[in-house]
Structure 1
Amino acid sequence: MTMADETLSQDWRGSTTEPNTPESVPDLKTPSDWVFARLIPTNRPAQAAIEKTFALNSSHHSQFIAETEFRDKRALCFELSLRVLPEYPQIGWRIGKGRADLGNNRGVDLLLHGAGGDDVAGQHARLNWVKGAAGFFLIASNRRGKRCTMNGDDFTHDRRVIPFKNTIMLGECAFTLQYVVREPKEEDRFQVELKEFCSSVLQDKNPYILPTPREADARFGDWVVQHAISKGAYGTVYMVTHAADGRPAAAKQLLKTRWNARQVEHEVKMALRISKLEHPGIASPFYIRQRPCRSAIEISRIKDLLSDTWDPKRMGDITDEYIIFSPLLNATFHSIITSTLPESRRTHFFARLLEGVAFLHDQGLCHRDIKPGNILIRSYDPPEALLSDFGCASDQNSILYDRPGTVPYLAPEQREGLKHGRAVDYWACAIVGYELLTGEVTHGRIEPGPVLDYYHKTLDDRGSVMAECCKDMLNPDPDARISAREAANALALFFAVQEKSQDGQRSGDESDAMSLLTYKRTRYN
């Protein structure tokens, strides 16, 4: 165990006796407030193993044992708390019958002392959150390939999210993990502590912090609904997580009636088309589910999703429900705009956006709702971004304005009675690029005149290739805007010259100017 590991296990919030929390959130008041789950034995072999562990009076193992009430009886259980961490917090609470050759702690935190037979390994499994996934997991991690069972599902060298209702089998020992369900205010406080734990201990700077599982959690098939992300005219986008592997996704629920049939069918058509595309800069839908939905019970359940004025008697019955599942990441360009990330990294992210837009246009598609919230961050190093949410996408070259998109990112030609094409995406990319360069968030529509002149002057003052690209895309005349492909090529050339300068082939001071010069020659000659 390293000094760093020891520090984490003893003091991840500053003190094991008086944990610190942010000043804006009250402390969890008592040790029990930090408890988030209890692993309760449900058969005699498991009960006997915990009782034998308790009788050992081992200081390390005893700190995880507590008494609880289960089935109207008092019983010993393993208590999991953010206050009392396992020996190695990064890998979680290890459970098994232990090995004497691994020291006083026997290589586990939750000791099943004397567990009979050969079905329980010394280090049988782990319990922990997982970086990049959502939920609390049972992780089968023993080298001997001993099975873990979750609700009848046997697995080895794999992991499963532990749902609210669960039966866990480790060899002949049976358990159920009972989550601690709190009142809303206490749950909010616990979520702050959990986020700090994931950031400090798991080194996950953008963790998926979900509400504690509850019995009434809603589901779309194998996906557990966590919370609504946004609400539109025809349905709602939810954050969902896969019940087995904790994979997060965005599930857009579209409710089709005879009044919105054309719009819903168009969006489903676009989703189907984009789902067949593969590109590292596109968050393509990976599953589309259709279900007839005509009963009065269904209408009662979902009537408030369409709008506050929706009347099923006047607007007609819901004929179909579509669920469009797409990748979901926990950070968007909003995170970059408000961060201290240097301009060089922001430029790389902008290039990834341009590459995704250029690919989409090569397929004959226009996004029409490019904005920071629709650009997901897959990785900060190397910079990787994905364009998402294709609800406004179109495959037409000339489109009569139909109120798509988000106002601050709308191009001048997106007005009643006018037609527009792919160039609206270039304008929106330029606004996003301006926000990345300046850190300023655009709140209103950018109109030709003093406001646009201010944007152009600000970009001129930046004097970079990215700023020049944004200025040339931020042209009131859609035919005069440079395309995403042209801008992406200019930045690729800039990166290539930068790389050469780092190798000593050209000075860094010249790289930007030479890239810009070559870019203008390429464009205008």
Structure 2
Amino acid sequence: MAAPASPPPPAPSLPDLIPNNLAESFSTHGIFATLRPYSPLAIANFSSVVDAIVAQPAKYAAVRQRIRLDAHHLLPIADTSSFAGAEESASSDATVPNTPEPTQLAWQGAFVFSYQDPPVHPQLGWIIGYGPKFPQYEGKPKPDVPLTVGPHFQELRLHNTTARLNIDKKSAVCTITPGHNDGTLRRGGMKVPFGTGFLDRPQEIISFGELDYRFEYVPADLSLHSAAVKAYICDALGAADSVNDLIAQTPSPNDRYIGDWRLVQPAGMGTDGEVVAAMRSKGDIVAIKDYWCKEQKDAWNALSKIDNYRSLQARVKSSYVQSLVDVLDEEKIRSAFHPPQHVYVCLQPLVLYDLDKLFKTWDNEPSNKPAEPILHQVLAQILLGIKDLHTAGFIHDDIKPSNIGILRVLPPHVVILDLDNAKDFSWIGALPSACLLTTHGNGGTIGYLAPEREGPQDELFGTGVDVWSAGCVAMEIFLRKPLQDLKRFNINPYRDLATFKHHRPTSGQLQTERTRQEAFVSGLSSSPGTIENLIGQMLAVDPNNRVTVDAALKHPLVAAGVLATQEEETRAKAQPGDKRAREEKDP
């Protein structure tokens, strides 16, 4: 008698597919955020985790619930569109084993965080590290999110607890905390200091050791999300009494509102007033600039700035320039007999970080400074923003590090800020290179003023002043030194001596500083083909000899930064899992 046929092998236990409808991800599965591998190395190690789930489903049952695969879930690494190339990776300079080949097949998907699937230790949060637990690390908790299951966790600079992701009990904001104070956890290429950090952006790049991931919130109805996160804090964290009213569906009477915008946190302080981050029920997030009006002239000045913003709003369409969204109670302000004490304008995008602050982090921790190709992208985006302004008929007239907002460092995205004093030259009909009269002691910032900006009275300046200022900024980005040390000499050396009313310097003092600067710039210009050479061309004293924005963008290193920026924008528009990306990959 023939032996009975053996049963067929069980089908591989694959994780679920990510729902096509992101709202379904939240409403059905409670998924509020995803962590998607961004670099090739991260993709390869993510794929190894999926392989382990398929091979040992019982051992990795808990991990399986925290992974979702894309519809096209097995692709060559070279065909993926969720990661930047090695030259853009936050960890691209590292030497680690098992660097994946472009043709290597890899599982495509993401780790997911769900209110319906709390971590093993809710008070600690979702532990992110390596897995499974190795014998030499007995007694330590297994990670809820294992970034690799291979033996190379030390070369990948991963800890058993590299980071912890949790929900703050008071504010209901998602937080991330490093497990060790050694720089193995980075956000946008910058080390996360030891302590709790708030994940307050819709998406950003987070690096765990040598692995780069894109963290992204899943869009969801705000009221539904408020109810879900409140239930999670009450049930999983057992903190019903500590839930702040701001996450309840009914706003708290203690919240501070301007119009229908709820103020969230201070975002900065300018010479005219405060900048505050704000949001409303639709989910919009803006920066609200509060102009303080003590006298009638302050109100007139604020209205003039609003008119400027309105012109910019109509004519400048740029990803690299902050723009006006709304002016609160504008009609009431314009018709008021007495000046209002405050004039509020809403701007997007909200920027909480600028280049000046970034410089300080580089100085305190030099290892945080990104690789040169990333810096080329930063300069390229500054120049693209300036070009968009000039094309629309505006001169910014105050380009400096604190007016370069940093939305993220990796991949870089910068925006030009503080446009309320931009100069509109479109109506003049003169050449852009010489269209506005010099003004002295009013406008711009010492240390970033082009020679012609405060030159002889009744002479003209033009778009070249922004190129000079950008050259000063580029010098600080790449050389980490200013063109002019303001602690040593806090006067514009190119200003017309006759225009000083008080504390007039001697002509010898001005000439000495000019000679020092010009000698340094001359040395930069003598090394062709380098970024230093471009900076030298941007800092030419004679505006007629100064490189134009268009020519600067064609410099090989800057052009490479422009191309990298365009490729990143293309990837962002076609993330895996969206409809267009799936259609493009369908045979």
Normalising by structure 2, report the TM-score.
0.46
Alignment of 1:24-423 (within 5 A): 84-87=123-126, 128-129=173-174, 133=200, 153=223, 155=224, 158=225, 178=242, 216-220=254-258, 221-227=260-266, 229-232=268-271, 235-244=272-281, 248-255=285-292, 257-276=295-314, 277-291=316-330, 292=332, 317-318=339-340, 321-334=343-356, 337=359, 338=362, 339-396=368-425, 397-401=435-439, 403-415=442-454, 417-418=457-458, 419-423=460-464
Identify unmatched segments of 5+ residues in structure 1: 7-59, 65-83, 91-106, 108-125, 182-212, 299-314, 500-525
Per the alignment, do residues 498 and 278 of structure 1 end up closer, same or farther by CA in structure 2, a change over 3 Å counting? closer
Structure 1, residues 284-318: CA drift from partner, whole Å, max 9, x if none? 22222235469xxx9xxxxxxxxxxxxxxxx9743
For the Cα contact (< 8 Å) 2:380–2:562, is it kept in 1? no
Q: In the TM superposition, what is the alpha-carbon distance from 1:488 to its structure 2 partner?
A: 0.9
Q: Cα 1:328–1:87, aligned 2, differ >3 Å: closer, same or farther?
A: closer
Q: Conserved in 1, the CA contact under 8 Å of 2:377 and 2:562?
A: no
Tell me the CA shift for residue 129 of structure 1: 0.8
Does the residue aligned with 2:296 lie in a helix, a strand or coil?
coil
SS in 1 for 2:424: coil
Selected match of 2:465 from 424, 437, 458: 424
Q: Is the 8 A contact 1:287 1:326 kept in 2?
A: no
Size of the aligned set, in residue pairs, is: 323
CA contact (8 A) 1:366 1:422 kept: yes
Amino acid paired to 1:484: V
Tell me by how many angstroms 1:363 deviates: 0.6
Q: Counterpart amino acid of 1:129? A: C
In structure 2, C-alpha distance between the alignment counterparts of 1:452 and 1:472, rounded to whole Å: 13
Shift of 1:262: 4.5
Query: How far off its partner does 1:395 sit?
Result: 0.6
**Which one scores higher on RCO, CA 8 angstroms, separation ≥ 6?**
2
State the alpha-carbon separation in 2 of the partners of residues 438 and 484 from structure 1: 21
Q: What secondary structure, in the 3-state scheme, does the structure 1 residue paired with 2:393 have?
A: coil
User: Match of 1:424, SS?
Assistant: helix
Deviations 1:159-197 (A, max 9, x none): 6898xxx999999xx99663589xxxxxxxxxxxxxxxx
Percent identity, aligned pairs only, is 17
Displacement after TM superposition at 1:249 (Å) = 3.2
**Secondary structure, aligned partner of 1:409:** coil
Match of 2:56 in 1: none
1:247-299 Cα deviation digits (max 9, x unpaired): 653211224553235432321112112223322222222222235469xxx9x
Counterpart of 2:174 in structure 1: which amino acid?
W
What is the identity, as a one-letter code, of the residue corresponding to 1:254?
A: Y
Task: Report which stretch shifted further, 364-373 or 380-389.
Answer: 380-389
Alpha-carbon distance in 1 for matches of 2:474, 2:217: 45
Instruction: Tell me if the contact between 1:328 and 1:376 (Cα under 8 Å) persists in the aligned partners.
Output: no
Q: 1:255, 1:322 within 8 Å by CA — same for their partners in 2?
A: no
Q: Which amino acid aligns with 1:377?
A: I
TM-score (norm 1): 0.50
Greater displacement, 442-451 / 274-283: 442-451
Q: Secondary structure at the match of 1:346?
A: helix
Partners of 1:169 and 1:460 lie apart in 2 by 60
Contact 1:133 1:248 in 2 (8 A): no
Residues 222 and 243 of structure 1 are in contact (CA less than 8 Å); yes or no, is this contact kept in structure 2? yes
Structure-1 residue corresponding to 2:138: none
- Residue in structure 2 matched with residue 451 of structure 1 by the alignment: 516
Q: How far apart, CA to CA, are the structure 2 residues paired with 1:466 and 1:380?
A: 19
Shift of the 247–161 alpha-carbon distance from structure 1 to 2, 3 Å rule, reads farther
Aligned counterparts of 1:374 and 1:219: Cα–Cα separation in 2: 27
Equivalent AA in structure 1 for residue 348 of structure 2: S
The CA distance in 1 between the partners of 2:286 and 2:313, in whole Å, is: 14
Superposed displacement of residue 456, structure 1: 0.6
Query: Are the equivalent residues in 2 in contact too, given 1:253–1:322 (CA < 8 A)?
Result: yes
